[in-house]
Structure 1
Amino acid sequence: ADQAGCRAQLATVVTMSLFRGSLPAGFLFPYRHPKAKGLVESTLYGIGGLLRGVGAALDELGSMAQGPQGDIKDHVQPNLAFAPVHRKPDVPVGAGQVVPAPAAAARTLKLKEVVVPNKHSSAFVAANANVLGNVKIGANSSIWYGAILRGDVNGIFVGSNTNIQDNAVVHVSKYSLDGDARATVIGDNVTIGHGATVHACTIEDNCLVGMGATILDGATLKKGSIVAAGAVVPPKTVIPSGQVWAGNPAKFLRNLEPEEEAFIAKSAVNYSELSAIHKFEQSKTFEEQFVEMAIMKDRAALADPSNSVHQMWEYDSQTALVARAKR
């Protein structure tokens, strides 16, 4: 019954795709959504954009009519994977982009401008990561699940082909013992391991920060260095190029081996390639996921020798999908 229900809904999706022009793109193109082509589709796309603009204007009028009680709750995004912060005049902006605050926020919170993160189109930010404010992310870099990049009081600069793994925290400082405000600068081809903390420091190209390590204010990792898992690098420490440091407080352990240098480069490439897959999967619509779920169920039923359900159906030999019911 469950398979029959799935197949009926799948048939509905496929049937709906025949009625072009009256359904959203998710139904028209179950796997990808090409731009509108032809006079009819282009016209409908333009009309849809106009209607959405009118809807946004009506929403703003309604928000004004409701006053402070209705202003905020409808404008707080449920997903903070990529969110702005309040621009403060005394905080330098160089990583993120300064944009005018939304009308409701400007009126209720007295904000004129906000700082939004700036990322390359090829970068991947996981849906449950938090990238806030004055942050810049370079090409083919990846911010993984649960990671936090908080550019609220200074800037965070992330280079190209860099991966910041699950549950890592990257922050900055506005004040310090020596009075200096510090941004966080992370170079190209850098790996930040799971659960690491990177705070107001500089990490040059081709470095690796192990899982659970902590890099504190003003520290500098020179090009091609490694901080071992769980290590704590004290403030203002400089780790020379080509060295491995470990411990709490972190101290020189040894020089890098050639295979470790190769591993750092390979890690950056692997995560860049893996992030492209995750980015593609996250971009799928509900309809695409539903179709894939039905396909997976078909193939699982066919592959399971203890499941007699497949005996009721004839399968296509090439796709392993149900072709029709047996008679």
Structure 2
Amino acid sequence: MEGVTIVPFNGKTPRIDPSAFVAPGVRLIGDIEIGPEASIWYNCVLRGDVNYIRIGARSNIQDGTVIHCDSGRTGTGGYPTIIGEDALVGHMAMLHGTTVKDRGFVGLGAIAMDGTVIESGGMLAAGGMLTPHKTIGPNEMWGGRPARLMRTLTEEQVAGNLMGVAGYMMLAKAHKAEITGC
């Protein structure tokens, strides 16, 4: 993976499925697992040094996103960052000790903090800040700083998010082919 920085930390080395796309400029540190057909885009930083990070199949982490986890030094036991399958994480998002379940959506520039959960089909809108220990329910859209429930997504909107996942999978394959020549 030319141009990708992979740093083992504390005996843990990032594990990347061969079908995943990891763009040049990405930094992967420590206990990270990237699933099949997932994509990690240009200039993202994933740092699994004090807990672990998991990215599920077909999920995409868009350009400039920062993902970290919580060590538990406050007595909580810590929070890993777990992103399920078919999830979208928009450009310049910041995820810290959060769980994004299958088909969850994190908008451009959004922030999700320790102990937060975005349930299946849930959406944190662009620029939203989900404060610690809050949960976005299935198919709910939250936005603002701090984020609050705005409305329930329609079936068409949820389906549109899944179309975004498919589009990013195709785009990742095209970028991978350009970069690797295969």
TM-score category (smaller protein): over 0.9
Post-superposition shift, 1:175?
2.6
Letter of the aligned partner of 2:111 in structure 1?
Answer: T
For the 8 Å contact 2:108–2:126, the answer to whether it is kept is: yes
**Which of 67, 83, 87 matches 2:6?**
83
Equivalent residue for 2:22? 125
User: What is the CA–CA distance in structure 2 between the aligned matches of 1:82 and 1:190, rounded to whole Å?
Assistant: 24
User: What is the CA–CA distance in structure 1 between the aligned matches of 2:153 and 2:73, rounded to whole Å?
Assistant: 32
For the 8 Å contact 1:82–1:117, the answer to whether it is kept is: no
Post-superposition shift, 1:176?
4.8
Equivalent residue for 2:13? 116
Letter of the aligned partner of 1:284 in structure 2?
Answer: G
Post-superposition shift, 1:84?
2.5
Give the direction of change, closer, same or farther, for the CA distance of 1:184–1:215 in structure 2 (3 Å limit).
Answer: same
**1:270-285 alignment, distance < 5 Å:** 270-284=167-181
User: What is the CA–CA distance in structure 1 between the aligned matches of 2:147 and 2:85, rounded to whole Å?
Assistant: 23
Letter of the aligned partner of 1:279 in structure 2?
Answer: K
**1:192 aligns to 2:89 (yes or no):** yes
TM-score by length of 2: 0.95
Letter of the aligned partner of 1:265 in structure 2?
Answer: L
Letter of the aligned partner of 1:121 in structure 2?
Answer: P
For the 8 Å contact 2:9–2:29, the answer to whether it is kept is: no
For the 8 Å contact 1:85–1:115, the answer to whether it is kept is: yes
Equivalent residue for 1:257? 154
Q: Which ranges in structure 2 are unaligned for 5 or more consecutive residues?
A: none
Equivalent residue for 1:240? 137
Give the direction of change, closer, same or farther, for the CA distance of 1:176–1:253 in structure 2 (3 Å limit).
Answer: farther
Post-superposition shift, 1:132?
1.5
TM-score by length of 1: 0.54
Equivalent residue for 2:34? 137
For the 8 Å contact 1:123–1:140, the answer to whether it is kept is: yes
**1:171 aligns to 2:42 (yes or no):** no
Letter of the aligned partner of 1:278 in structure 2?
Answer: H
Post-superposition shift, 1:182?
1.4
Post-superposition shift, 1:284?
3.0
User: What is the CA–CA distance in structure 1 between the aligned matches of 2:121 and 2:49, rounded to whole Å?
Assistant: 29
**Which of 98, 121, 127 matches 1:230?**
127
Q: Which ranges in structure 1 are unaligned for 5 or more consecutive residues?
A: 1-77, 88-113, 286-327
Q: More helix per residue: 1 or 2?
A: 1
Percent identical pairs in the alignment equals 34
- Taking CA–CA contacts closer than 8 Å with sequence separation of 6 or more, which of the two structures ends up with the larger relative contact order? 2
Aligned residues: 181
For the 8 Å contact 2:9–2:31, the answer to whether it is kept is: no
Equivalent residue for 1:268? 165
SS at match of 2:12: strand
Post-superposition shift, 1:188?
0.4
User: What is the CA–CA distance in structure 1 between the aligned matches of 2:134 and 2:75, rounded to whole Å?
Assistant: 14
Q: More strand per residue: 1 or 2?
A: 2
User: What is the CA–CA distance in structure 2 between the aligned matches of 1:208 and 1:192, rounded to whole Å?
Assistant: 6
SS at match of 1:276: helix
For the aligned residues, what is the CA RMSD?
1.5
Equivalent residue for 2:48? 151
**1:209 aligns to 2:106 (yes or no):** yes
User: What is the CA–CA distance in structure 2 between the aligned matches of 1:185 and 1:85, rounded to whole Å?
Assistant: 19
Letter of the aligned partner of 2:70 in structure 1?
Answer: S
Deviations 1:5-33 (A, max 9, x none): xxxxxxxxxxxxxxxxxxxxxxxxxxxxx
User: What is the CA–CA distance in structure 1 between the aligned matches of 2:46 and 2:117, rounded to whole Å?
Assistant: 18
Post-superposition shift, 1:177?
3.6
For the 8 Å contact 2:5–2:25, the answer to whether it is kept is: no
User: What is the CA–CA distance in structure 2 between the aligned matches of 1:177 and 1:256, rounded to whole Å?
Assistant: 35
